[in-house]
Amino acid sequence: MKKIIQITSGRGPAECSWVVAQVLKTFIEEAKENNIKTTMLHRETGIENGTVETATILLESDTLDTFINSWIGTIQWIGQSQFRKFHKRKNWFVGIFEIETSTATEISEKDIHYQAMRSSGAGGQHVNKVSSAVRATHIPTGISVVAMDSRSQHQNKKLATERLLQKFKEEAVKQFKAEFQAQWMNQLQIQRGNPVRIFQGSDFKKQKQEKTNKQERQKLKREDYFDRE
């Protein structure tokens, strides 16, 4: 089983980027403890030393759901700003999201089904009597193309394969753009409150999760005013 997750500070200040760096370290350490293989796919450093704006990680293991579900959502850190000594805000939030990935990245010859068919359109008796056209279908994705340019079935099969590869690449680009857009949207969807995990202090110790009540939400709202330079 493979899954890709993103840890992001969203559009938060440098303090949130510092939290991302700490979460990333803790996340990878815990993954190793659970025998989960991690591969860093992308990491964007922040403006301050030791900070990370966003990181994308590939996870590989026989079982991932329990581990991932314990992390997906909002992560809260309670502590004094590492960069602004007298900053009043004490609650900082980052997000962890799962990224949907394309089911296929390349075409295997064994996954292509070829079907001979009669050509349509102009062509006289040849069109009506000879099944020279070829339909090529990529079975895993259902992408299909037809080639009927030549009177040779062999040539049409070659053309159909080329067109299928081209169409597959176009679909892959569309999916890549959709995945990129999803990552960008993650930057805007970090919710404050109801965190799945809470850490505190400069040593980043895990704190027992507590549900936020109305008073706590009002406190977070007030702190939002101090989130700007």
Q: Write the single-letter amino acid at 229.
A: E
pLDDT score of 126: 46
Statement: residue 69 has pLDDT above 70: yes
Let me know: does 1 contact 63? Beta carbons within 8 Å.
yes
Question: What's the distance, Cα to Cα, between the start and end of the chain in Å?
Answer: 43
Q: What is the mean pLDDT of the chain?
A: 82
Tokens matching residue 66? 């329990």
pLDDT score of 23: 97
The DSSP secondary-structure symbol of 191 reads P
DSSP sequence for 51-77: -EEEEEEEEE-S--HHHHHTTSEEEEE
Let me know: does 120 contact 146? Beta carbons within 8 Å.
no
Statement: residue 210 has pLDDT above 90: no
Q: Which residue did the predictor score with more confidence, 30 or 117?
A: 30
Interval 149-194: pLDDT, tens: 888 889 999 999 999 988 887 887 677 666 666 766 776 678 777 8
pLDDT interval class at 124 (50, 70, 90): very low
Let me know: does 138 contact 107? Beta carbons within 8 Å.
yes
b/e for 178-210, b at 16 or more Cβ within 10 A? eeeeebeebbeebebeebebbbeeeebeeeeee
pLDDT score of 177: 64
Phi, psi of 47 (to 5 degrees): -75, -25
Q: Which residue did the predictor score with more confidence, 214 or 15?
A: 15
Statement: residue 221 has pLDDT above 70: no
pLDDT score of 216: 58
pTM over 0.85: no
C-alpha pair distances (Å), 19 with each of 75, 216, 226: 9, 21, 17
Average pLDDT over residues 102-109: 65
pLDDT score of 208: 59
Q: Which residue did the predictor score with more confidence, 73 or 228?
A: 73
Provide the strand spans (E) within 139-207: 143-147, 197-200, 205-207
Average pLDDT over residues 31-42: 94
Interval 164-174: pLDDT, tens: 988 887 887 67
Q: What share of the chain is helix, strand, coil (3-state, %, to 5)?
A: 35, 30, 35
Average pLDDT over residues 104-118: 81
Cα–Cα distance for residue pair 89/52, rounded to 1 Å: 20
SS3 of residue 111 by DSSP:
helix
